[in-house]
Structure 1
């Protein structure tokens, strides 16, 4: 796991090699947390590649940038190729020789042997850049689900890339600005959906894509190509899903795919452990991992607020597998103390409240291990979120005449409010908001922090961007309509996997862990296992109100019923309560009338009204206020030019 950075000068206006080396070192230095074990740079005739290394495999000879034996190509690589040992043998048979034990050299030789076709053979998480000297071409790629970040910009005669935007901003000949339109999108999504970034000049390479940039064609735009797509669900009438024997066969197939995925992710020359929440996903990884190694170190967070606390379940699984279990108690005070520090270190704002416990758990775990496995993936691919069931319920409710439905909807305003994990009034309000919007927008509307209507109320009239819902949520609509099936629930699953998981969940995990130089691995995002999940008929993932149905059936022989059947709890924090207590001083300062006038974006009276409504308990504005707070912490620390 590492940080990569570099740039190519397209013309005579580029700096000297000495200047390029100086700039490159400054850019790489900004990502030292991604690679504290070493660094390297390679500069030649206007091409500059840099690397920060977190040593995981081949600790002695895997340094980068790496040049192949024939001096034809140079690579910088972030991630892990889990099947590199098998690929090395295949490449040796094809005549390639190796000087190291590293997966980096395997990847470089794979490109030189198979070109872009090498991507279909890779199993791993990665973003990498290869400078092909012979073709004078940049070849870059990102893994299938986007676990590893990749940003790029083409401006002022330079093509530049990095693992984090902060590194790009260190280049003295590149400029960056933020638009109000992307800020409004952040306020809606709580993140910036790909391929946009927070900066107008910077793009994200989408997952499952590679990039070509030919120096001879500069300054033409870069060329992007998709190399993998999520397969469609198979027909439920298929023999694979008919009869009790077929069900047990699918359960065993799933268990074997998980065993293979976990085994691949145990390859490491440094200590590794597991993030254990006590949910079915991380618990499934835990029992699988425990069957393969003599001793497992597990790490979990506990909350002083009972309705958010999963630690008893994590302890139950830890006792089941006999792990060396580490539990860390988190509190409101800890959150308030660390939130400004965490957000200020982000290259892009991210308003996922679980960023805080993930950051703190990563910090504590790094004292014991360098690599940790986690349970990310099943909620999106096996339909674990309540939104999937809500999607079906909404479709049924809309068949009821409005005259009958309307009184029941009106009555939801009298449901009890709470700052606990479950707030029935808040949940009902969000559900009804999604019920009355177009189908393509429904799930995203349930996730939205500040809707078009909410943003109309707070933006200053002379600064407000286009807040039409079709414009604001255009990235969701494009994905929803790109799915090659008319099944609306299937489309919603696709959007979750392609957008929410990549740009929200996986970004959070990457940033929070890499701030402490901790590598996270996700067995459920193994290609074979993910493709198995995608091919499952939706009824084998969501049956009645049971989410992740087949995964739970497959785990019945391995996990106790209390773990399999308990209500799902996300890795969240008591945001509603903390905004009224420990975080109130921070919010009052950053969103005071004086502070808001300084940024000149939002109406101070409208924002104050929202804060007062939340503090009084009249309205639960937890998502909106948390997102606004994160944005203002980020703006204050990065001071971008806003167009």
Structure 2
């Protein structure tokens, strides 16, 4: 886990890698190479996880031909090393970086499909005069690029481009609209910064320096695709057994490290699964010590400690608990925004931030976390609509009725809410706006200026619409879309920045591609059964998890008492921050409406929502990065 930088044609400036020193406190490297297309600068900051001695320093050269800066981990590097040495490749170090270099030398771009891991890297082939830039299947590790008339640059974090002559922080209008209206970002190649783009998960760039010209950006190419949803049919017993085998092996691979490994533990199904499987896997190691980290609040409806405690007691885990306050949140806001690079939709990520801070304090360098499970397994309650729509489309009317009854019985979901969710999954795109209103989401808030709204609302949240195909169930398509486009990329952004801010490597076992191919291939099957979410995970883990965790029906996951804090100790600061935002960005916000909305929400005259935080965070982000009005 590290920070990387590469620039071609631009004046080399080591500040670009120093800006992410937090990503790699264990070493740094910088190399400048003369090429036929101009100077190539490669920078690296190292967080030493595997082979922590000097043999792992980067940029790393292989066979006097290939040089790389690499961020991430190749979990199956031992198996790849054995295969490559059998083919005659010389590998001197114990690092996964050299294995990746040897794999590229042996197989070229096809090496990507052989890697089970999370990675973002820039590799230069001196002989072929070619740059090869790639990102892992689901985009666990970040990789951004920015081009100017003088050259092109690649980075782990957007802030690194501020070190380049000619870069200006300007907002992307479409990105600002999608964030302010819906709270999402990272769902497009474009970012919140105009001109800054990212490789999507499963993409690569190949740049022939002989043909490339400054200012040019070649089109990214896909190297990985998920299987078609509903392409795999398995009975529950076989599917859950296969799920457990793959999940166990995923955790096993992600325990490979030469530093202490711990786990995030919210008390939910996903994180509890990881803790319990890790406990099994290290049971025979007398020197192993398992640490879990939990964020707990005494606010009714938000405290999951009783569930986390049951898991810790069963596994004999050394538990660490953090309970940050409203004051802690306010003190951390600017640092969080700087590390995140882009504004975020609620304060819930502060709980995760606090957990990683505690892990760093405890000396744990690698943390396993549960991202990706809800999206693959239909763990979010709004996904009820897609599941029910699938039954209607296939005329499974009795099951449709039975599922509605079960959902209402287990979760108390209203018929109005269910009706809106089902219609949103079934009706054509032209009906999208009124259906959003039925489901409680206003597409054009009154607190946005009419000019800003008119310029952006025409293709309302277009990239968020789930692709509809005749051969995929609504739920199967939705799971795949959330995994690759909407929910997971955004959560991985939070995970990466929160962990790296505290020099922690976060690993996500549910995003092992073998597991994702099983769950997506199953489509709608074994996900929502008799009103119970994530049915296949519950069945697989039933003998392993504490029963009170297996039988949980609510969904939280490191939340914060945002409403309590905003209406109480932070009230005046929230109102002041809203004022600052509207004054800084008058072309976006209707000042009177924002102020009225903020007071009405804090006084309880309108329902509490995360929209107020989005307004505030957008303003603080703009100030922090000097984004022009």
User: Paired residue for 1:418?
Assistant: none
Decide whether the 8 Å contact of 1:374 with 1:520 is kept in 2. Answer: yes
Decide whether the 8 Å contact of 2:472 with 2:523 is kept in 1: no
Residue of structure 1 in register with 2:584 after alignment: 598
> For residues 235 and 214 of structure 1, what CA distance do their matches in structure 2 show?
38
Is the alpha carbon distance of 1:269 and 1:486 closer, same or farther for their aligned partners in structure 2, counting shifts above 3 Å? Answer: closer
Give 1:191-210 correspondences, 5 Å limit: 191-192=184-185, 193-210=187-204
Q: Which residue of the partner structure matches residue 43 of structure 1? A: 32
> Aligned to 1:217, what secondary structure does the other structure show?
coil
Alpha-carbon separation, structure 1, partners of 2:321 and 2:269: 18
Is the contact made by 2:581 and 2:615 (CA closer than 8 Å) also made in structure 1? no
Is 1:384 aligned to residue 379 of structure 2? yes
In structure 1, what is the equivalent of residue 266 of structure 2? 277
Q: Which among 250, 255, 265 is matched to residue 266 of structure 1?
A: 255
User: 514, 526, 535: which one pairs with 1:549?
Assistant: 535
1:375 aligns with 2:370: yes
With over 3 angstroms needed to count, the CA separation of the structure-2 counterparts of 1:362 and 1:423, relative to structure 1, is farther
After alignment, is 438-447 or 219-228 more displaced? 438-447
Distance, in Å, in 1 between the alignment partners of 2:600 and 2:311 is: 41
Paired residue for 1:93, among 72, 86, 98?
A: 86
Q: Deviations over 1:311-366 (max 9, x none)?
A: 11001100001111111123333323323331243211122432100001100111
Which residue of structure 2 lines up, in the alignment, with residue 578 of structure 1? 565
Instruction: Work out whether residues 587 and 629 of structure 1, in 8 Å CA contact, stay in contact via their aligned partners in 2.
Output: yes
SS in 1 for 2:485: helix
Give the Cα separation in 2 of the matches to 1:446 and 1:558: 42
Q: Does 1:125 align with 2:113?
A: no
C-alpha distance in 2 between matches for 1:549 and 1:530: 15
Q: Which residue of 1 aligns with 2:474?
A: 488
1:138 is paired with a residue of what secondary structure?
Answer: strand
**Pair 341,443 (structure 1): closer, same or farther in 2 beyond 3 Å:** farther
Would the alpha carbon gap of residues 484 and 530 (structure 1) be closer, same or farther in structure 2, given more than 3 Å must change? farther
> Higher mean Cα deviation, 141-150 or 387-396?
387-396
Residue in structure 2 matched with residue 218 of structure 1 by the alignment: 212
Deviation at 1:486, TM superposition (A): 4.1
What corresponds to 1:336 in structure 2?
330
Flag the 1:234–1:467 CA change in 2: closer, same or farther, 3 A: closer
Deviation at 1:186, TM superposition (A): 1.6
SS in 1 for 2:207: strand
For residues 509-548 of structure 1, the C-alpha deviation after alignment (integer angstroms, 9 at most, x for no partner) is 1111111011111111111111111122413112131111
Counterpart for residue 613 of structure 2: 626
2-side partners of 1:443 and 1:203: how far apart?
A: 32
> Aligned partners of 2:18, 2:201: CA distance in 1, in Å?
26
Quickly say closer, same or farther: Cα 1:126–1:568, change in 2 above 3 A: same
**Equivalent in the alignment of 1:27:** 16
Equivalent residue for 1:4? 4
Residues 135-214 of structure 1 correspond to what in structure 2 (within 5 A)? 135-192=128-185, 193-214=187-208
Matches within 5 A, 1:507-522: 507-522=493-508
Higher alpha-carbon deviation: 304-313 or 535-544: 535-544
Aligned partner of residue 327 in structure 1, secondary structure: strand
Following TM superposition, by how much is the alpha carbon of 1:397 offset from its aligned partner in structure 2, in angstroms? 10
CA RMSD of aligned residues (A): 2.8
2:105: which partner in 1?
A: 112
3-state DSSP of counterpart to 1:480: coil
Shift of 1:194: 2.2
How far is the alpha carbon of 1:393 from its aligned partner? 4.9
After TM superposition, the structure 1 = structure 2 runs for residues 516-531 of structure 1, keeping only pairs within 5 Å, are 516-531=502-517
CA contact (8 A) 1:184 1:467 kept: yes
The correspondence for 1:453, drawn from 404, 426, 444, is 444
Residue 74 in structure 1 maps to residue 67 in structure 2: yes
TM-score (norm 2): 0.88
Which 5+ residue runs of structure 2 have no aligned equivalent? 283-287, 395-410
Whole-Å separation in 2 of the counterparts to 1:447 and 1:174: 42
Residue deviations 1:28-74 (CA, integer Å, cap 9, x gap): 111011111111011011001100100000111100011112x2121
Write out per-residue CA displacement over residues 544-594 of structure 1, whole angstroms, 9 at most, x where no aligned residue. Answer: 3111101101111111221111122232222222221233222212222x6
TM-score (norm 1): 0.87
Residue from 466, 472, 488 that aligns with 2:460? 472
CA distance in 1, matches of 2:449, 2:418: 25
SS of the counterpart of 1:308? coil
Kept in 1: contact 2:433–2:460 (CA 8 A)? no
1:635/1:280 CA distance change after superposition, 3 Å = same
Structure 1 residues 491 and 248: CA distance shift in structure 2, 3 A? closer
Question: Equivalent residue for 1:322?
Answer: 316
Say which is worse superposed, 510-519 or 619-628, in terms of deviation: 619-628
Deviation at 1:494, TM superposition (A): 1.7
- 5+ residue gaps in structure 1? 242-246, 400-421
C-alpha distance after superposition, 1:389-425 (max 9, x if no partner): 13345788999xxxxxxxxxxxxxxxxxxxxxx9999
Contact 1:188/1:448 (<8 A) preserved: no
Task: Measure how far apart 1:96 and its partner are.
Answer: 1.3
Q: Secondary structure at the match of 2:281?
A: coil
Question: 8 Å contact 1:434–1:443 — kept in the other structure?
Answer: no
User: Relative to 1, partners in 2 of residues 1:374 and 1:120: Cα closer, same or farther, differing over 3 Å?
Assistant: same
CA positional deviation for 1:641: 2.6
Say yes or no: does 1:286 pair with 2:275: yes
CA distance in 2, matches of 1:497, 1:447: 25
**Cα displacement (A) at 1:458:** 2.2
Output the CA distance in 2 between the equivalents of 1:539 and 1:158: 49
Report which stretch shifted further, 209-218 or 173-182: 173-182
Q: How many angstroms apart in 2 are the aligned matches of 1:380 and 1:333?
A: 32
